[in-house]
Structure formats: C-alpha cells, structure tokens
Amino acid sequence: MQLVLATNNSDKIKEMKHLLDDLPVTIMTRDDFLEFPDIEETGDTLEKNAALKASGIAEFCDLPALADDTGLLVDALDGAPGVYSSRYAGENVTYEDNNRKLLEELQGIPTEMRTARFRCVITIDWDNGEEDTVVGEVEGLIAESITPGGGFGYDPLFYHPASGKTFSEMSLDEKNAISHRGLALQKVRDVIINRLNNARR
C-alpha cells in the first residue's frame, strides 16, 4: 500500500512519519512528486477541511491520501481560533505571529480560565470513493508566556497539566504519546492495519 501525506507542512510530516513509518506501508510526501498542490482550506469545520485536502491530493496523485486539520479551541474566546488556527493573525503569518495574537486576546484572563483543547481531525481518502475519519483531542491550558523549546504552531503556549509541561518542552515521543495529533494517528494506525488485514483475506 502507498499512502500520501496531504500536507506541505514539514513539521506535520515529521510527526506523522514518526508514528506511521513502521507500518508495512510506503509513506509518500510532497518530496516524492515533481508537483504537489496546496489545497485551499475553504471549509468551515476541521472535518470539511481534512476531507477537502485528502480528496484533493488523492485525486491529484491517484493514490490514497491522508490529511489532517487541527484547531486550538480556547474557552475564554468562545472556541477561537478554531478552524482558523493556522491563520489566526492573518494570511501568510508565522507561528510566532499567531502565538502573540493569542496572548494579546487572553491578556488579563486568569490561569484557571485559560482552558483550551487541541482537536485534530484526520481523513484518509482511499481514492475509490471511500473515506475514513478519526478525531484526537487533548485538554490543557494556555500559558501566560511563550515557553522555549521545540515544537511548532501553538506548542509554546499549550500547557498539559498532567505532564507539567508545554508541548514545546516535550520530546517528540512524549508529545506523540498524549497530543491531539498523536492520539488521532494512533487511531489511523488501527484503520490502516484493519484495511491491510482485510485485503489479505
């Protein structure tokens, strides 16, 4: 089986491959193609955007494709930035731009009211009219300042109370074990394994 990761985000590719590389599947990325489109996220939900990206890349590559759409939902902001998480501060912005805007929006909000969750929706389009969709979520708090370390996106601000760390302070293995994308990818692994097993019968 070949499976294309339907994203141009190198950070997402790294996380996805880390959890899927040991499967008996050839994981392909944008680097395996001479051309690779950037599918526009025109949906008003994470589910619609994941499906749009998966189907767009599956059709373009004529192969099964896996896409995710992820949102940070902050309770004090009525669920914002949500579906607009990657472009919260505007189009073509940096991770730091989005983090700064989030801190500005939450200025003066006490710690106990800075509750939030990361939600990741992953869709696999099997390029034959079939789709599988899974969801991963993790609860946390928005820190009052940006923490140093690795990670990407809102990782420097997303504090996971049970771990006592923000996502940016975690190793990739630590983060994948409890993160929204890690939990969704664990479900994706089950979907892929079941499909492979059924194909052998």
Per residue, what are the HEC states of the chain?
CEEEECCCCHHHHHHHHHHHCCCCCEEECHHHCCCCCCCCCCCCCHHHHHHHHHHHHHHHHCCCEEEEEEEEEEHHHCCCEECCHHHCCCCCCCHHHHHHHHHHHCCCCCHHHCEEEEEEEEEEECCCCCEEEEEEEEEEEECCCCCCCCCCCCCCCEEECCCCEEHHHCCHHHHHHHCHHHHHHHHHHHHHHHHHHHHHC
125 is catalytic: no
User: Among residues 69, 125, 127, 132, which one is catalytic?
Assistant: 69
Residues with a catalytic annotation lie at 69
